[in-house]
Structure 1
Amino acid sequence: MNFLSHYYFDRNVNNCYHILGTVLPDLLKNADKTIVLHPEKLHHSNDDINCIIAGWNKHLAVDRYFHSSDFFNIHSHQLKKLLLPAIEGSPVKPFFLGHVALELIIDNLLLTTGKILVDDFYAHLDGCKTEIVAEFLAFAGLKDDSRFFKFFDDFKSSQYLHTYAETHQITYALKRICMRVWQNPFTPQHEEQMNGILEGYRSLLLPDFMSIFTEIEAKLD
């Protein structure tokens, strides 16, 4: 799941470090895909750092349940099939495209149906002290945190997750993610065709998209 979908499960939690932990694995991956940390079983004397670890573990559990669900398997496969002819000649792997497109559509639906407020999410991230986050990263084994904090500061200041509420921006967000792997993933023609497909699939998911959150919440309890 993407950032806002992870936040949904803990939207009523008031601890900013726990909220950070629920999205930190993806933040690190986006900052530098070579970063690999496994703090799952660590315990620190500082409760704030333990809250980050608890949030991290929640992230792993949510992703595990999501990626093993019928919802994910069915809809990511359908999106892959629909998008494949629209991106003919693109270097992007079809499975990757279906996977990420589904997650972006779900984030869009959470925002546009008022299930979460993106300003609340960013407020939690802004509430985390840099020294606490740095201590967690060092404790988890990261020797150089400079690339992460550069990305994290840009992530917070740009607040680009607001654009997920605009349905026509789903393709742009998908392109941004693909550009981390492929230099020129799509032509303007690709993007135009993808827009129509993604908007149509969003409408298809709208009536019942919350079923996946209900399913995962039941497994988390």
Structure 2
Amino acid sequence: MNFLSHFYLIQDNPDPYLVLGMVLPDMVKNHRKTWNLHPYKQAGQLEEDAVLRSIYRGWELHLETDRRFHSSSFFSLHSVELRKQIAAVLSGPPFRPFFLAHIALELLLDSLLIIQQRVDIGKFYLRLSACGEQDIVRFLEINGIHEAPSFTGWFRQFTRSAYLYSYSSPGNLSHALDSIGRRVWQVPFPEEKKGQLAVILQAYRNEIENDYLPIFEEITYYLRPL
């Protein structure tokens, strides 16, 4: 799941560090894909500090959310169908339609939460802005990231740009899909394909707009004991 979908599951929780932890795994990979964190190995130290404990709890919630989502029938059904549609306009090396379908489905969920006003994006950014950068650095350093201070500039830019507001537009979703893909294969989509992908995303968003909420309800049910 993407940033807003993760936040949606805990948006009523006032703890900014829990929210941070819930999205930090994806943030870390967006900043530096070579960083590999395994906070459970440092659980004893993290549990001793209230702030670090909240980040750690959010991190674990993120992992469990993704496990539930990626093993769901919803993900299986719609990622396969999206792959077929994407492959019809964008296939062959270096592009990987299944990877793009996976990401596209997650972007579409964020987009639906926005246009149906089910998630408060302003609250999301306020929660993140309330987190101290020194606390983020501490969490990363405890988990073996020696270049942790380099993350703070990226984090600042992420919160200031507030680009997630743009996900209401299929054209911007196509652009986001292109940007994410380029992190993997360093080749942009052909310009004419971006418009075709935007049409596919618009149509698919319309198709699932009345049927997507049960996946959030299912995941919330399993997260309750955590």
**TM-score of the superposition, structure 1-length normalised?**
0.96
Could you report, residue by residue, the CA deviation over 1:146-178 in whole angstroms, capped at 9, with x for unpaired residues? 332222111111111111122321101111111
Deviation at 1:182, TM superposition (A): 2.2
1:111-150 matched pairs, under 5 angstroms: 111-150=114-153
1:162 to 165, 168, 172: 165
Contact in 1 for aligned 2:170/2:199 (Cα 8 Å): no
Equivalent residue, structure 1, for 2:207? 204
Range with bigger deviation, 169-178 or 103-112? 169-178
1-structure distance, mates of 2:173, 2:129:
25
- How many residue pairs are counted as aligned between the two chains? 221
Percent of pairs with identical residues = 39
Equivalent residue, structure 1, for 2:14? 14
SS of alignment partner, residue 188 of structure 2: coil
Structure 1, unpaired ranges of 5+: none
Range with bigger deviation, 99-108 or 192-201? 192-201
SS of alignment partner, residue 40 of structure 1: helix
Contact in 2 for aligned 1:107/1:164 (Cα 8 Å): yes
Corresponding letter in the other structure for 1:10: I
1:41-190 matched pairs, under 5 angstroms: 42-43=43-44, 44=46, 45-89=48-92, 91-190=94-193
**TM-score of the superposition, structure 2-length normalised?**
0.94
Equivalent residue, structure 2, for 1:192? 195
Corresponding letter in the other structure for 1:212: I
SS of alignment partner, residue 117 of structure 2: coil
Equivalent residue, structure 2, for 1:27? 27
Structure 2, unpaired ranges of 5+: none
Could you report, residue by residue, the CA deviation over 1:40-90 in whole angstroms, capped at 9, with x for unpaired residues? 251332201100000000000000000000000110110000110111456
1-structure distance, mates of 2:73, 2:213:
14
Equivalent residue, structure 1, for 2:36? 36
SS of alignment partner, residue 183 of structure 2: coil
Could you report, residue by residue, the CA deviation over 1:187-216 in whole angstroms, capped at 9, with x for unpaired residues? 111111111111000000101110110111
CA RMSD, Structure 1 to Structure 2 (Å)? 1.2
SS of alignment partner, residue 135 of structure 1: helix
